Structure 1
Amino acid sequence: MEHTVDPSEHTDVQQTRRARRNRDSHAARIVVVGGGVAGLEVATALGKLGSDSIDSVTLVDSDSAHVWKPMLHTIAAGTRDLAQQQTTYLAQASDAHFAYQPGEMCGLDREAGEILLAPIYAPDGRELVAGRRLPYDKLVIAVGSGANDFGTSGVNEHCFMIDSRRKADAFNQEIRLRMVRCMASGEPLQVAIVGGGATGVELAAELVQLAESATAYGALGEAAKFRIVLIEAGPRLLPSFPEEISEATRVRLQALGVSVIVSGRVSCATEQGFELANGELVPASLRVWAAGVKAPEFLTRLGLQTTRSNQLLVNDAMQTSDPDIYALGDCASYTLPGQEAPLPPTAQVAHQQARYLIETLPHVLERPGAQTVGFAYRDFGALVSLAHYDAYGSLGKFGLFNGGVIRGRLAMLSHIMLYRSHQARLYGFWRGGLLWLIDLMNSRLRPSIRLD
Structure 2
Amino acid sequence: MDKQAHKVVIVGGGAGGLELAAKLGRRFGPDQVFLVDSSPDHIWKPSLHEVAAGTLDIHREGLSYAMMAKDSGFTFIYGAFAGVDRAARSIRLDAVMDEQHELFPAREIAYDTLVLAVGSRSNFFGTPGAREYAVALDSTEQAEHFRKLFLRKLVIANNGSQPPRPLNIAIVGGGATGVELAAELVEASKNIRYYGLDRLDPAHSIRITLLEGAGRILSALPPKMSDAAQRLLQERGIEVKTSVRVASVQEDSLTDAEGRQYPSDICVWAAGIEAPAFLAGLGLNVNHRNQIVVDRMLRTDDPHIFAIGDCAQAPWDKEGEFLPARAQVAHQQADFLIPLLRDRIEGREPPQATFRFKDYGSLVSVGHTRGVGSLMGVLSGKSWFVEGLVARMMYMSLHLMHHLAVLGAGRTFVMAIGRLLLKRSAPRVKLH
Query: Are residues 1:222 and 2:191 paired?
Result: no
Segment drifting more, 91-100 vs 30-39? 91-100
Report what 1:157 is aligned to: 132
Q: Distance in 1 between matches of 2:373 and 2:409?
A: 25
Contact 1:48 1:97 in 2 (8 A): yes
Cα deviation, 1:399-432, whole Å, max 9, x if unaligned, reads 1451121111221111011100111111111210
| Residue 361 (structure 1) shift | 1.1
Pairs within 5 Å for 1:229-378:
229-378=209-358
Report what 1:64 is aligned to: 40
Segment drifting more, 431-440 vs 140-149? 431-440
Q: Distance in 2 between matches of 1:324 and 1:395?
A: 36
**Aligned pair partner of 1:189 in 163, 167, 182:** 167
Query: Are residues 1:43 and 2:43 paired?
Result: no
Report what 1:388 is aligned to: 368
Contact 2:55 2:430 in 1 (8 A): yes
TM-score (norm 2): 0.95
- The 3-state SS of whatever aligns with 1:444 is coil
**Aligned pair partner of 1:420 in 378, 384, 400:** 400
Q: Distance in 2 between matches of 1:359 and 1:202?
A: 35
Contact 2:3 2:345 in 1 (8 A): no
| Residue 442 (structure 1) shift | 2.2
Pairs within 5 Å for 1:114-125:
114-123=90-99
Question: Which amino acid letter does the alignment assign opposite residue 40 of structure 2?
Answer: S
Query: Are residues 1:435 and 2:411 paired?
Result: no
Segment drifting more, 245-254 vs 287-296? 245-254
Segment drifting more, 68-77 vs 89-98? 89-98
Contact 1:395 1:401 in 2 (8 A): no
Report what 1:19 is aligned to: none
Q: Distance in 1 between matches of 2:189 and 2:379?
A: 42
Question: Which amino acid letter does the alignment assign opposite residue 67 of structure 2?
Answer: A
Q: Distance in 2 between matches of 1:234 and 1:215?
A: 36
**Aligned pair partner of 1:174 in 149, 165, 169:** 149
- The 3-state SS of whatever aligns with 2:188 is helix
Report what 1:8 is aligned to: none
| Residue 254 (structure 1) shift | 1.2
Q: Distance in 1 between matches of 2:360 and 2:239?
A: 31
Cα deviation, 1:76-123, whole Å, max 9, x if unaligned, reads 111111122111111111222222212111211011010111233444
Report what 2:89 is aligned to: 113
| Residue 56 (structure 1) shift | 2.0
TM-score (norm 1): 0.90
Query: Are residues 1:96 and 2:72 paired?
Result: yes
Tell me how large the CA RMSD over aligned residues is.
Answer: 1.7
Query: Are residues 1:140 and 2:115 paired?
Result: yes
Segment drifting more, 181-190 vs 162-171? 181-190
Q: Distance in 2 between matches of 1:244 and 1:393?
A: 9
Report what 2:49 is aligned to: 73
Contact 1:66 1:165 in 2 (8 A): no
Cα deviation, 1:424-452, whole Å, max 9, x if unaligned, reads 11111121011111222222332211122
Query: 1:307/1:387 Cα in 2 relative to 1: closer, same or farther (>3 Å)?
Result: same
Question: Which amino acid letter does the alignment assign opposite residue 162 of structure 1?
Answer: L
Q: Distance in 2 between matches of 1:36 and 1:217?
A: 34
Q: Distance in 2 between matches of 1:290 and 1:370?
A: 39
Contact 1:36 1:144 in 2 (8 A): yes
Question: Which amino acid letter does the alignment assign opposite residue 165 of structure 1?
Answer: T
| Residue 147 (structure 1) shift | 0.9
Question: Which amino acid letter does the alignment assign opposite residue 16 of structure 2?
Answer: A
| Structure 2: gaps of 5 or more residues | none
| Residue 73 (structure 1) shift | 0.4
Contact 2:31 2:75 in 1 (8 A): no
| Structure 1: gaps of 5 or more residues | 1-21
Q: Distance in 2 between matches of 1:243 and 1:111?
A: 49
Cα deviation, 1:370-398, whole Å, max 9, x if unaligned, reads 42322121100001011214100012242
Q: Distance in 2 between matches of 1:95 and 1:449?
A: 31
| Residue 198 (structure 1) shift | 0.2
Q: Distance in 2 between matches of 1:389 and 1:418?
A: 16
Q: Distance in 2 between matches of 1:102 and 1:219?
A: 40
Q: Distance in 1 between matches of 2:213 and 2:136?
A: 17
Contact 1:231 1:260 in 2 (8 A): yes
- The 3-state SS of whatever aligns with 1:394 is strand
Q: How many residues align?
A: 427
Question: Which amino acid letter does the alignment assign opposite residue 268 of structure 2?
Answer: V
Query: Are residues 1:208 and 2:186 paired?
Result: yes
Q: Distance in 2 between matches of 1:170 and 1:217?
A: 20
Contact 1:35 1:143 in 2 (8 A): yes
Contact 1:34 1:59 in 2 (8 A): yes
| Residue 140 (structure 1) shift | 0.8
Q: Distance in 2 between matches of 1:103 and 1:188?
A: 42
Cα deviation, 1:112-153, whole Å, max 9, x if unaligned, reads 0101112334445x6554432111111111000011000011
Report what 2:427 is aligned to: 447
| Residue 57 (structure 1) shift | 1.5
Segment drifting more, 25-34 vs 346-355? 25-34
Identity of matched residues, %: 38
Q: Distance in 2 between matches of 1:372 and 1:37?
A: 25
Question: Which amino acid letter does the alignment assign opposite residue 112 of structure 1?
Answer: A
Q: Distance in 1 between matches of 2:165 and 2:196?
A: 15
